[in-house]
Amino acid sequence: MENLKLLVTSSPHIRDDDSVQKIMYSVIIALIPASLMGVYYFGFHAFLVIAASILGAIVTEGLFQKLRNKPITVSDGSAVITGLLLALNLPPGFPLWMAVVGSAVAIGLGKQVFGGLGYNPFNPALIGRAFLIASFPGAMTTWISPVDGITTATPLGLLKLQGITTDYFSLFIGRVGGCIGETSAVAILIGAAFLLYKGYIDWRIPFSYLGTVAVLMYIFGKDPVFHLLSGGLMLGAFFMATDMVTSPITKKGRWIFGIGAGIVVVVIRIWGGLPEGVSYSILLMNGLTPLLNRYTRPRIFGKVKANG
């Protein structure tokens, strides 16, 4: 007892073994199934796109921190996640230099200009994807069939433009055209189950997000199962909408975030000019996150209103 040192601090007094690095590398592990399925279906170039995007993100993060005289923190895994998530949202045949440019924009414009990890209002990977869609629309909409390697449309594109539906099993295992990491629902769900088990993501956002899309699609006479399994909805719901930095911290705010994102996806997919809508739905709700945190704060226990 004589050698025991007591540290007196203000509340809250929370002890936890988790760290930023541990959480980031757990997310990377959770993304491995979707990454492997993407490389399996689309070939070695998909692996190169992933590698180029991650490398571009790491180098950009290191350069920005060096220029700002900040500690180099590329080993914490956050830049790797940004590069990996961006790559999983790119077409399999995407030019490597464009992937590097996209990851540089994701880190530079989406994260470092705001002060780095923890200060970015929008998901950095989606900022990079939005930039690439605006800059290189042709390359961003050139899809490859995993069956014969020829160019094809995504299931959402086939349905919207030609009225052709895709069977559930192909959508579930990922044997369809699309971005590298979005096509295999089963691989995404395996990674999501790991993060839910570890407690690193809250079930409220993906549940409300996916549930809103399913209910509204059913109400408007569309196939809810097809829309749940198609496009980037699963990947976005579990791995990008749940970003700890850019999503609400309150339970009520998370419900509203997920419902709002689901409504945006349904509006774009049914009445919009684009077949998808996941990226824009999350970015729009990212912008509302400060307001959701402000107006959904739980009442402070014991607080008395001034005029109460």
CA–CA separation, 188 and 231 (whole Å) = 12
pLDDT tens digits for 164-208? 889 999 999 999 999 999 999 999 999 999 999 999 999 999 999
Other Cβ atoms within 10 Å of 24 Cβ, number? 19
Asked whether the predicted pLDDT for residue 157 surpasses 60, the reply is yes
Asked whether the predicted pLDDT for residue 107 surpasses 60, the reply is yes
Asked whether the predicted pLDDT for residue 2 surpasses 60, the reply is no
CA–CA separation, 237 and 255 (whole Å) = 12
Average confidence (pLDDT) over 228-246: 94
Q: Which two tokens stand for residue 259?
A: 């419902």
- In the chain, pLDDT over 90 holds for what percent of residues? 76
CA–CA separation, 259 and 298 (whole Å) = 19
- In the chain, pLDDT over 70 holds for what percent of residues? 92
Q: Return the closest-CA partner of residue 290 out of 127, 132, 131, 114.
A: 114
pLDDT of residue 276: 87
pLDDT of residue 43: 93
pTM: 0.90
pLDDT tens digits for 44-79? 999 999 999 999 999 999 999 999 898 898 889 999
pLDDT of residue 273: 85
Nearest 5°: the CA angle 203, 205, 209 is 120
CA–CA separation, 94 and 42 (whole Å) = 11
pLDDT of residue 67: 92
Other Cβ atoms within 10 Å of 123 Cβ, number? 29
Asked whether the predicted pLDDT for residue 22 surpasses 80, the reply is yes
